[in-house]
Amino acid sequence: MEPSENSILFTPYKLGPVTLRNRTVRSAAFESMGDRYSPTQQLRDYHVSVARGGIGMTTLAYASVARSGLSFERQLWLRPEIVPALHEITDAIHSEGAAASIQIGHCGNMTHWRTAGQMPVSASGGINIYSPTVVRALRESEIVELAKAFGRAVRLAREAGFDCVEVHAGHGYLISQFLSPYTNHRRDAYGGSLENRMRFMRMCLQEVMEAAAATGCAVLVKHNMYDGFRGGIEIPESIEIAREIERFGVDGIVLSAGFVSRAPMQVMRGAMPIRTLTHYMDCWWLKWGVRMFGRMMIPSVPFRECYFLEDALRFREALKGPLVYVGGIVSREGADRVLNSGFQLVQMARALVNEPDFVERMRREGAGCRSHCNHRNYCIARMYSIDMKCCQHCPDLPKSILQELEKEP
Ligand SMILES: Cc1cc2nc3c(=O)[nH]c(=O)nc-3n(C[C@H](O)[C@H](O)[C@H](O)COP(=O)(O)O)c2cc1C
Ligand code: SF4
């Protein structure tokens, strides 16, 4: 089968100051391959394999702009000490013909004292049962400092050779915790009206855009179309937020949804394999708690190909600037359909966890090409405790995991 004649998938795209060789981007998907908040050879090898596999741009996932914003020890903390090691990674990505991006963010209440080096912080204080942890509200002076940290992160990313940064403003992390009425109960200038809830995001974007203009960096912003539960952000309000993001002149908005501390499977769709998740945990009481209450806390959301497309089209109609589609792209036909609907770039995570050279295969095989990913989400369950890996690349999985993966819908 031939790909659709008007396919733009393998045409170059100018993303701000960088030109991508095609319209594909490896979405930020936490590799869990860092060591004490620093990059490793394993992280380099994974991204080089994706770059070699034909991607337009690959994204190193979720680097924190501050120590307080780290969720995991195997996560990156973007600081001057790791710039040389990151530069080795971007050099290697570039020599395979791909561009390099890094997602920057702050996890807010999704951490523990030990990882964050302090009590977890958020827009408002309380208890986050998903971490689980007690959280305190940020002081105004800290909010100003954290916004500046986003700007510093862009400068460091450029020093390390990245072509683009992706600001994580969705999925219930810190910027999203300010935006969402579910997590923001402040009574000062950062809470209440939408205008106030957007203030922290605006401060971060101001710093990011200044640093990006000064250093020649492309900027994407990952944004929630909706949080995915009653009391969270819904599409009409989210469109207003997206318009505000556009006003900063960003190079693209990545449209996603879901909230890690309330509706995590809205992001990825499918079911979380709880047995697998707990198999890799070493904290006995957490293991026990998740086995007892996991299915209730992490409800399944059915997967289907291009699952965000209808919602994303509402944003396409309302917005003028470049938009990046993410969510359930598993075939050449799906990627073409999304691009033909008016999106400028397509992002993929699991298709590339499963097969780093899926892009090259789409180019070679054309319209009939499909990913071998089955969306049982072993990679996600595993990533919380050890590295991100596809079950199809793990030959010696225990029987209990194999049985669970067979059972999942
Ligand atoms: C293992 C894994 C880790 C992820 N980690 C992140 C992350 O760090 N930041 C983020 O914005 N999204 C993360 N995601 C979500 C993906 O970026 C993407 O939005 C989602 O998986 C839908 O794309 P897909 O259907 O192509 O997998 C992760 C997804 C997976 C599978
Ligand atoms: S582990 Fe499962 S969901 Fe993840 S990439 Fe592999 S097949 Fe896809």
Please, which residues have CB within 8 angstroms of residue 374's CB and are 6 or more apart in sequence? none
* pLDDT over threshold 70, residue 213: yes
Q: What is the pLDDT of residues 135-193, one digit of tens each?
A: 999 999 999 999 999 999 999 999 999 999 999 999 999 999 999 999 999 999 999 99
Q: Which residues of 337-349 are buried (b: 16+ CB within 10 A; e: fewer)?
A: bbbeeebbbbbbb
**Which is it for the CA torsion 325, 166, 253, 72, positive or negative?**
positive
- How is residue 55 annotated by DSSP? -
Span of 184-198, 231-245, 283-297, 298-312 with lowest mean pLDDT? 283-297
What is the C-alpha separation between 21 and 137, in angstroms, rounded?
A: 44
Q: C-alpha angle 118/180/112, rounded to 5°?
A: 20
Mean pLDDT of the chain: 94
Name the residue with higher pLDDT: 70 or 291. 70
Q: What is the pLDDT averaged over residues 235-246?
A: 98
| Whole-number pLDDT of residue 99 | 98
Q: What is the pLDDT of residues 105-131, one digit of tens each?
A: 999 999 989 899 999 999 999 988 777
What is the CA(27)–ligand 1 centre distance, in A?
6
Amino acid at 194: L
The domain limits of the chain are 13-269+304-375
Under a CB-based contact definition with an 8 Å cutoff, are residues 232 and 225 in contact?
Answer: no
What is the C-alpha separation between 213 and 251, in angstroms, rounded?
A: 12
Give the up-direction half-sphere exposure of residue 99: CA atoms within 13 A in the CB hemisphere: 26
Q: To 10 degrees, the CA torsion angle through 328, 332, 338, 340?
A: 180
What is the C-alpha separation between 32 and 102, in angstroms, rounded?
A: 14
Q: Find the ligand nearest to 380 CA.
A: 1
User: Please, which pLDDT band fits residue 409 given cuts at 50, 70 and 90?
Assistant: low
Q: Which two tokens mark 105?
A: 């963010």
Cβ of 78 closer than 6 Å to ligand 1, yes or no, is no
| Whole-number pLDDT of residue 288 | 73
| Whole-number pLDDT of residue 4 | 63
| Whole-number pLDDT of residue 389 | 95
> Whose CA is closest to 240, among 331, 327, 158, 319?
319
Q: What is the pLDDT averaged over residues 351-376?
A: 96
> Residue 168 CB: number of other CB atoms within 10 A?
28
Percent of the chain at pLDDT > 70 equals 98
Domain 13-269+304-375 CATH class label: alpha beta
Whose tokens are 């971060």? That residue is: 204
- Preceding peptide of 273 cis, ω within 30°: no
Q: C-alpha angle 344/228/286, rounded to 5°?
A: 115
Cβ of 276 closer than 6 Å to ligand 2, yes or no, is no
* pLDDT over threshold 80, residue 296: no
> Whose CA is closest to 219, among 252, 247, 246?
252
User: Please, which pLDDT band fits residue 408 given cuts at 50, 70 and 90?
Assistant: low
| Whole-number pLDDT of residue 281 | 78
| Whole-number pLDDT of residue 295 | 75
What is the C-alpha separation between 155 and 208, in angstroms, rounded?
A: 9
* pLDDT over threshold 50, residue 263: yes
Q: Which residues of 201-222 are buried (b: 16+ CB within 10 A; e: fewer)?
A: bebbbebbbebbeeeebbbbbb
Q: Find the ligand nearest to 272 CA.
A: 2
> Whose CA is closest to 60, among 73, 78, 47, 49?
47
- Active-site amino acid positions: 173
- CB-based burial of residue 84 (10 Å sphere; 0-12 exposed, 13-18 middle, 19+ buried)? exposed
| Whole-number pLDDT of residue 306 | 98
Q: What is the pLDDT of residues 5-28, one digit of tens each?
A: 679 999 999 999 999 999 999 999
Q: Is 323 helix (H, G, I), strand (E, B) or coil?
A: strand
User: Please, which pLDDT band fits residue 3 given cuts at 50, 70 and 90?
Assistant: low
Amino acid at 171: H
Q: What is the pLDDT of residues 57-106, one digit of tens each?
A: 999 999 999 999 999 999 999 999 999 999 999 999 999 999 999 999 99
Cβ of 380 closer than 6 Å to ligand 1, yes or no, is yes
What is the CA(402)–ligand 2 centre distance, in A?
13
**Which is it for the CA torsion 77, 79, 85, 90, positive or negative?**
positive
Please, which residues have CB within 8 angstroms of residue 85's CB and are 6 or more apart in sequence? 38, 39
Cβ of 268 closer than 6 Å to ligand 1, yes or no, is yes
| Whole-number pLDDT of residue 5 | 66
What is the CA(257)–ligand 1 centre distance, in A?
11
